[in-house]
Structure 1
């Protein structure tokens, strides 16, 4: 009777240990085979524990070979030269530490006219300062300091994104060079997050626009650049996203 009781306890302890071990196998980094991938997670019975009732405890691991997922992206993102230490949570294809924006305003005009004389020659173009609005965060003090010190920023990139249903794609990208923060203002109402309006002056701008297929792949790229100081259009190199 004692021997039977001892054997029963041993079997119970063995099965309990097996269950605990099987539960701990979740999240292992070894790639099991054959593979079944669901939402970026690969499942397999390879390496699992088979129980007396025929069920199998499977292992799982993250497929680190897949592209990085979009994180904290909105439809409008600005990214600053890393030397400024202005950084945010937005990450995606071509974006590493971007700031999400609430709105943006920029534009250009030309004083040419066909209403006088017989010509209609072109005048000099005028490019407006970039104005962005966003919610305040840890970067707020840096923006304020750049207004006070007149610190130059080597470059700033603005991304206009569109959500396709599965990911964000870049429809337009503008790179501004030799920039200055020319204005800063903050507004706030009780209980909400303060909003900021920031003015940015620049010397050069490179505008890139992308046509995309249903899968989001770029099929056509158009570009234009302008150097305000030189009053000329230098070469504009567009990244491929």
Structure 2
């Protein structure tokens, strides 16, 4: 702020809190000099939600003590820290082979964000929106995020899923789309090989590659009902 802006700030504070008013001309000059010394790098307003009058009103409402220039400076520093914490450096447009220009643009962006003249660039801005057109075209051509060759390589590590995908590809119902009445596996979960001991309790709970036949029958009946509906 400039000296005239500091004087306007002190006049505004005097209207809200008469305790800060200085009637002596010498004391008023000293007060302006003190406030200017601490607030010379604090802007009066910015385009991004900073107004020194808001900081003054907040202090007067929250504290019973007269406001000091350090109170305003602390609120400005908190404002700067919050903006820098929410900022992720966008890639400069300068040539990366020119480290001086690259660093100058990077620091200039940070200073603009901290000063409130530029909005922070957040992570959400990097990931917002849908996929790019070339990615959408590739997905339509492949039909899946996983290419067929990669899916084939993964089949040996995911045997139950491979059996499920092969059945669906051949037009058979997906057995994991229903709950298994035999082992009580939920929808989407593989069946379990549960052996019952002499005491009537389960002695095994290993996942099965193939689902239980009753589950496959239930899935077929559910698919038939959907086709006839």
* Range of TM-score over shorter length: under 0.3
TM-score, normalised via structure 2 length: 0.27
TM-score, normalised via structure 1 length: 0.26
Larger Rg: 2
Could you say which structure has the higher strand fraction? 1
